[in-house]
Structure 1
Amino acid sequence: MPAGPKGDCFGAANTTNYNAAAAPRNDGTTTFPQQQQSTTTDPVNPYPILPITGYLCTMSDLLVNKVANSGLITLDLGQFLPKGEIKVFDLKDFLFMGLILKEKDYREALKARTWEEFEGQNVAVTCTTDAIIPVWAFMLAVTYLEPVAKDVFLGTAEEMHKHLLLKNIEGVAVEPYTEQRIVVKGCGETPIDNVAYAAITKVLRPVAKSIMYGEPCSTVPIYKKK
C-alpha cells in the first residue's frame, strides 16, 4: 500500500470522503480508507469488511513532521570525526637494542630515510617501547615530517584522533547556529569521546539560543539564553 507524500501522511492529492473508520494495524501503522468499493460479511463477524485503498501514516512520519516544524537544529558530532588514516611514526625503530637512542645514528637515519609515505597524511609521532626518549628526538622527527604531512601530533594514534576531532569542532563556523535552538545528537553509529560534547558546548554557548542533548523527540536541556 503506498505511503503518502512526504510531509502529509494522509496524501496531499486525496480528496475522497473518508466514510469508514481508520483501521489500526499490528505493525504500528494506521490505514485511512479512501473509498468503499464493496462490502462482504464474515459469518463470524457481523460487521462489514471494507476492501480499501489508502495511504499509510506511521509514527515516524508524524515525528518527522513534528521535528521539521519545531525549529530545532540537530547537530551530529559524527560529522566532525577525522577522515582518513592516521600514520604512526614510531621512534622504537631507531633505538639501539630497542633501548637506547644514539644521537649520531638517529640523525643519520632520519637524513637517509624517505618520507613519501607520510605525504598528505595525519602523523602521530610516538615511541611504543618503555625507552626514555629525549624531547629533542621528537622535535627532530617533526622537522622532517612537517613539510610533507597534513598534520603532526606527538602521541598515539588514538590521542591524535581525539586531537583532530577537537580541532574540527573548534573550527566550526558558528553563524548557522547563532540564536538557534540546537539539539546535540546523543546516539550515533560511531562512539564519540565525551570531550567532544564538552568542546561543542564551549563553541555554541556564546551564540546559541538554547542547547539540548539527545534526540528531538527526547531531549535534556543544557543551556537556555536568558
Structure 2
Amino acid sequence: MSSIADNINSVTQRIEKATLEKGRKPHSVRLLAVSKTRQADELREAVAAGQQDFGENYLQEALDKIANLQDIPELRWHFIGPIQSNKTAQIASAFCWVHGVERLKIARRLNDQRDTALPPLNICLQVNIDNEPSKSGCSLNELPALVAAIAELPQLTLRGLMAIPDPERGEVALRKSFRAMNNALIQLRQDQPGAGPLDTLSMGMSDDLELAIGEGSTWVRVGTAVFGPRQQKS
C-alpha cells in the first residue's frame, strides 16, 4: 500500500506534468490536501512529505486538528464549502483561506469577526457553475455585484473563484465548466481591477485535476489521491 508521502509525490508529478503540457509557468498550481475525516497523525505524515496547506469541511473536527498540530506553525488552514452564520467567528479566527463564500452576509461576518491583528482572510467566491440545485454557490450573473461589495471589506482579501463542477456530466462538460470559471475570473480582473488580487482559481480534484489545470486552475483540492479512500465521518 502506498504511503502518504508516495501519494503526495505522485500527485505533485501529475500537477507538474499537466502544468508543463499546457505551457503554464512551473509551480503555478498548488496542492491543497483535503484532510476532512483524516486523523492528525495522517496530516503529520503529509507535513513530513512537504505539504503545508490543508483543507477542512467540518469546523469542529478542523479546530481539533489545528489544536493538535499547533506545534507546526507553518501550516496553512483552508476552510472549504458553505458556511453557516454561527460558524463565522471561529472560521475567521482559525483559518487563513476560505474556499466557498457565496453570500455577502457571510463575507461581512467574516470581515467583522477577523481580528485586525491577523492578516486579512483570503477568500474565494464559490460559483455554482452548473446551476445544480443541490450545490451551494452564487451564479455567474451575481458575481460582479458580490465582488464589488466584498472589495469594500478591509479584513478580507478576494483572491478569486472556486467551483465544484458536476463530474457526472463527462469530460467535455467538465472542461467547459472549468473554462467558464477561468473566463469569469479574467472578466472580473478587467472590470474590477481594484477588487483584490483575483489571482486564484480553486478547482479540480483527484479525478479531474488535469482538466482543471488545463483551464487555469491554481489550487487543486485533492483528498483521496493523497490520503487514500475517504473514511466515513462518525
TM-score (norm 1): 0.26
Higher-Rg member (1/2): 1
TM-score (norm 2): 0.26
Structure with greater strand percent = 1
Q: Which has the higher contact order (CA 8 A, sep 6+)?
A: 2
